[in-house]
């Protein structure tokens, strides 16, 4: 299920391939996909995007007419705020595939974001129309959202990063050991490591000056973030800044 950024339209999909679009002012529209629905999204202009288990990614107009039909195995989707680009994370397969950057206006793949070793667990748009990914290799990577060019790498530990995001000048990621890791977004320098959960961190959300995290066993925590400039300044004067906080 997904909401349009207008907050009034909803698209949902089911394992039988059925897709239901509910619009605030024009009722409902039913579509049928070729396989179980893995992911769906709805744009502010009314277009609907559906990815199914048969490796098809389809774009429909407001009336349900197919605008594009691509062969792309998609597990997760993330839309750029203006709706012109789609970040598609492929389905888990024996041969791990990299996220794809797709131009929705021209219905074509712009770039494959290659660089991670193993699966990518998180891929999202961040400030500045850039993309941040995190994966099984314990690293987060920042990409140009227009071209797919790699901009910076943030290296963590030897185990996977479950999720990552950007807050102002900081990149923040959660890892398999329940640690929150902080880097300087511009330089990639390690800044700080904070024990957060007893299980792997699999969800991170920035809400104002707070950080909300979710552990694999279901616990949710809220943290008050320090000012990024204070963290970066402190770590610039203390070589051991990146040790685990107690």
Q: What domains can you pick out in the chain, each with its CATH number?
A: 1-112 (2.130.10.10), 116-246 (2.130.10.10)
Distance, CA of 86 to CA of 109 (rounded, Å): 9
Q: What is the pLDDT of residue 82?
A: 84
Q: Which residue has the higher pLDDT, 33 or 228?
A: 33
Q: What is the pLDDT of residue 91?
A: 64
Does position 246 have pLDDT exceeding 60, yes or no?
Answer: no
Q: What is the pLDDT of residue 4?
A: 75
pLDDT tens string 132-191: 999 999 999 999 999 999 999 999 888 999 999 999 889 999 999 999 999 999 999 888
Distance, CA of 11 to CA of 33 (rounded, Å): 13
Residue-averaged pLDDT of the chain: 88
**Cβ 14 vs Cβ 54: under 8 Å:** no
- pTM, 2 dp: 0.86
Does position 43 have pLDDT exceeding 90, yes or no?
Answer: no
Q: What is the pLDDT of residue 201?
A: 96
Binning pLDDT at 50, 70 and 90, where does residue 37 land?
very high
Half-sphere exposure of 116 (CA within 13 A, CB side): 32
């Amino acid at each position: 299920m997904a909401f349009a950024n207008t907050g009034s339209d909803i698209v949902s999909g089911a394992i039988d391939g059925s897709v239901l679009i509910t619009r605030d002012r024009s009722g409902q529209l039913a579509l049928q996909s070729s396989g179980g629905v893995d992911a769906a999204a709805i744009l502010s202009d009314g277009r609907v995007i559906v990815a199914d288990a048969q490796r098809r990614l389809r774009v429909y107009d407001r009336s349900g007419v197919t605008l594009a039909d691509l062969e792309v195995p998609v597990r997760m989707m993330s839309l750029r705020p203006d709706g012109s680009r789609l970040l598609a994370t492929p389905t888990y397969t024996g041969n791990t595939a990299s996220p794809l950057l797709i131009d929705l206006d021209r219905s074509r793949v712009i770039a494959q974001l290659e660089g991670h070793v193993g699966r990518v667990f998180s891929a999202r748009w961040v400030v500045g129309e850039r993309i941040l990914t995190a994966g099984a290799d314990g690293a987060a990577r920042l990409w140009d959202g227009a071209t797919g060019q790699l901009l910076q790498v943030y290296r963590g530990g030897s185990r996977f990063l479950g999720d990552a995001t950007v807050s102002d000048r900081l990149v923040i990621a959660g890892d398999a050991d329940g640690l929150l890791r902080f880097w300087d977004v511009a330089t990639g320098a390690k800044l700080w490591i904070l024990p957060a959960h007893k299980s792997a961190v699999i969800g991170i959300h920035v809400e104002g000056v707070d950080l909300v995290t979710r552990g694999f066993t279901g616990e949710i925590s809220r943290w008050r973030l320090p000012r990024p400039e204070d963290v970066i300044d402190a770590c610039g004067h203390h070589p051991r800044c990146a040790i685990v906080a107690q």
